[in-house]
Amino acid sequence: MKKSSVITPAGTTTAAAPERGRRQRVQSATTAVVLLKGLATLGGRASLTALAAYVDESPAKVHRYLVSLMEESLVAQEPLTQLYVLGTECLAIGLAAMRLVDPIRVAEPSLVLLRESLEVTCFVAVMGNRGPTIVRFEEPGLPVTVNVRVGSVMSVLWSATGRVFLGLLDESRVRAMAEDELAHAPADLRGQLDANDPVGRLRAEVQAAQCATVKDTNLKGISAVAAPLFDFNGRLCGTLTALGATGGFDSSIDGPIAAAVRREAQAISVRLGYVTETPRA
């Protein structure tokens, strides 16, 4: 026998009540998540007024949710300033997520996308003990013949990959590598750099462009574009590089290949937790 729904005084059925309750719980969870994300975007610390304005909700409603979040240690309130801050449970969640972050794994979708869309060889490199080292390598269907593979150490001064590390990794040992390479370089390569301050000028150019390009320097007949990968601390943790035969490879700093490499490098950095700008409360 089919069960009939009981009509309540308000004109609703008891069968509809659980569904309404479920929707309310989902909406409440969504609002709580929006508040946590807003607090994080505001630098992890904000006043009630600033947070309410940012999420476009009334201060009274935001306060009710903050009280609930404080009960779960997802939010805390500073005694002296009365500002709301991300709580210890948020810290635990963030640390758990950070432990799962692997630049090589995170970069794989972008490597495949660049390989397929641009039909170029591309790779990810990190700074190793001996210099920039390739750790992930992808080739198109018709690969360009190059003598670099996973494990290859790239030049700091003459490769696009190395120049990104030189320009954006502020370490004396990287600059020392560049000076050593410069001292042993042939005259034609040295002539491509600034005569008065070759390393310093190159570093400044990379910092300004947030990208590096080379043409027939590290490998004759090969051009390359590289862009930086940043971790959640804003520290350079790797590079994303695309390379190809000079004749069919646009290595210009404002060309389509450079734009694609920069775009994918930025996407990888975001997935690694990098935040480009934090608004002030």
The 10s digit of each residue's pLDDT in 213-236 is 999 887 788 899 999 999 888 899
Higher-pLDDT residue of 279 and 66 is 66
Read off the CATH number of the domain in which 53 is found: 1.10.10.10
Which residues constitute the domain of residue 39?
16-98
pLDDT digits (tens, 9 = 90+) for 12-34: 555 566 666 566 667 888 888 99
Residues 93 and 148 in one domain: no
Contact 168, 207 (CB under 8 A): yes
Please give the Cα distance from 41 to 195 (Å, whole number).
45
Q: 94 pLDDT band (50/70/90 cuts)?
A: confident
Residues 156 and 202 in one domain: yes
Count of the separate structural domains present in the chain: 2
Residues 166 and 265 in one domain: yes
The residue among 53, 68, 98 that closes a domain is 98
Residues 243 and 213 in one domain: yes
The residue among 81, 98, 115 that closes a domain is 98
Please give the Cα distance from 262 to 256 (Å, whole number).
10
Residues 131 and 46 in one domain: no
Establish if 11 belongs to a structural domain: no
Establish if 281 belongs to a structural domain: no
Residues 128 and 265 in one domain: yes
Establish if 126 belongs to a structural domain: yes
Q: Give residue 259's pLDDT.
A: 94
Average pLDDT score over residue span 86-100: 78
Establish if 276 belongs to a structural domain: no
Read off the CATH number of the domain in which 135 is found: 3.30.450.40
Establish if 118 belongs to a structural domain: yes
The residue among 98, 132, 158 that closes a domain is 98
Please give the Cα distance from 48 to 63 (Å, whole number).
7
Please give the Cα distance from 192 to 260 (Å, whole number).
26
Token pair listed for 61: 């409603």
Establish if 5 belongs to a structural domain: no
Q: Give residue 272's pLDDT.
A: 87
pTM: 0.69
Q: Give residue 139's pLDDT.
A: 82
Q: How far is CA 194 from CA 172, 201, 202, in A?
A: 20, 7, 8
Residues 246 and 179 in one domain: yes
- In the chain, the DSSP E strands lie at 45-46, 75-77, 84-86, 121-127, 132-138, 212-215, 222-230, 236-245
Residues 119 and 151 in one domain: yes
